[in-house]
A and B are shown apart, each in its own frame.
Chain A
Amino acid sequence: MKDTVNRRAGTTYPFHLELDTRFTDTDLGGHLNNVSIVLYYRDAQARFMLDCFPDLAAQSEWTPRQVRCDVSYDGQTYYPDPVDVACGVEEVGDSWVRVAQALFQRGQYVGQCSAVLALVDSQGQHLAISPEQRARLETRRLRA
């Protein structure tokens, strides 16, 4: 992943979400397993989008669809400590937004994710991001 800002620092991200970890998220070694980490990132993406567009909650398919995600596992994570998932806008495309995320536990950076969220209709067709939507997303950019 290309770093133009410090992706490992919590202060880089304008949005943070603390999530409880679950015993059912662990593997045999007591670590949080690979898929659970993806789930934490996805939960935070949804909360981040709701923070940006509160009116979305009233719609039936209210969150942009995740069409791509790149996850880097850079440290071990453990149950039962909570995790802090940080989010910020990295890039805004024609019909999509790339959300940069980082995962912290016990105050330590443990991984990052770059997710492309796309606006799609019920048929799966991509829809353009409006100027107003773009303006709101721009206010939640990663901090240099």
Chain B
Amino acid sequence: MSEVAIITPTYPSLAANPLRLELKTYPVQFQLPTRFSDVAHGKRIGSIGMARYCEQARMQLLTTLLGKERLHSGTWKAFLRQISQEMLSAASFPETLTVGGGLRHIGNSSYSLGFGFFQGGVCVGLCDTTDVWVGDNGRPTAISDEFKNLLQKEALPL
């Protein structure tokens, strides 16, 4: 495609709230190594790589909030229902990603998590996920008070 003019994009962005771009906004922080197999061009991490990091971050935050034993005991029954991911600038290999995460919202049978991905102190990507809590019949059901309390421990100040 021909290069016509450099412009400022106007699509709706998860970064509309400037707090999302600051690592200190996120109550839980951890490191995520980048992988060569996630590189798209040059040293740049592609969108599929970012999708993998989003999924990894979601599970890592849930492990932090709920504990490994609860997560794998069979009492945690949630499915990913929706995910939004946005690449703000190029994440690169082999630098490690610093991930910030926390609870965005919790309802009766679903909860949403928010994440920011940082390299060199710069926010390179954002991600929001929504999980639905399901019963043995696979239908949405109320989240138990025990899990609600654990999830609410690390809420985002948004």
| A121 at interface, CB cutoff 8 A | yes
The answer to whether B83 touches A56, judged by C-beta atoms less than 8 angstroms apart, is: no
Chain B residue numbers with a CB within 8 Å of A95 are 7, 9
Total contacts A to B, CB within 8 angstroms?
Answer: 90
* One of A39, A93, A124 near B11 (C-beta < 8 A): A93
Please measure, in the bound complex, the distance between the C-alpha atom of A118 and the C-alpha atom of B48, giving whole angstroms: 16
B11–A121 touching, CB < 8 Å? no
Indicate the size class of the contact surface on chain B. 20 to 34
Near A by CB (< 8 A), chain B positions 36-59 give: 41, 47-48, 51-52, 55
Q: A69–B85 contact, CB under 8 A?
A: yes
B79 within 8 A of A: yes
Contact size range, A: 35 or more
User: How far apart are the CA atoms of A39 and B52 in the complex, in Å?
Assistant: 10
B87 within 8 A of A: yes
Question: Is B32 an interface residue when CB atoms closer than 8 A count as contact?
Answer: no
Q: Could you tell me if B81 and A126 are in contact, using CB atoms closer than 8 angstroms?
A: no
Contact A66 B47, CB 8 Å, known A98-B11, A127-B5, A128-B5: yes
Q: Which of B80, B81, B82, B86 contacts A67 (CB 8 A)?
A: B86
Closest residue on chain A to residue B1 by CB atoms: A119
Q: Which residues of A contact B11 (CB under 8 A)?
A: 67-68, 93, 96, 98, 116, 118
Cβ–Cβ < 8 Å partners of A130 in chain B: 1-2, 4
Q: Does B73 sit within 8 A of A, measured CB to CB? A: no
> Which chain A residue has the least Cβ–Cβ distance from B44?
A124
B residues whose Cβ falls under 8 Å from a Cβ of A: 1-11, 13-14, 41, 47-48, 51-52, 55, 79-87, 89-90
Chain A interface residues (CB < 8 Å from chain B): 34-35, 38-39, 42, 53, 56, 59, 61, 64-73, 93-96, 98, 116, 118-119, 121, 124-130, 133
* List of 7 A-B pairs having minimum Cβ-Cβ separation, nearest first: A66-B47, A38-B51, A128-B4, A68-B86, A70-B84, A128-B5, A125-B6
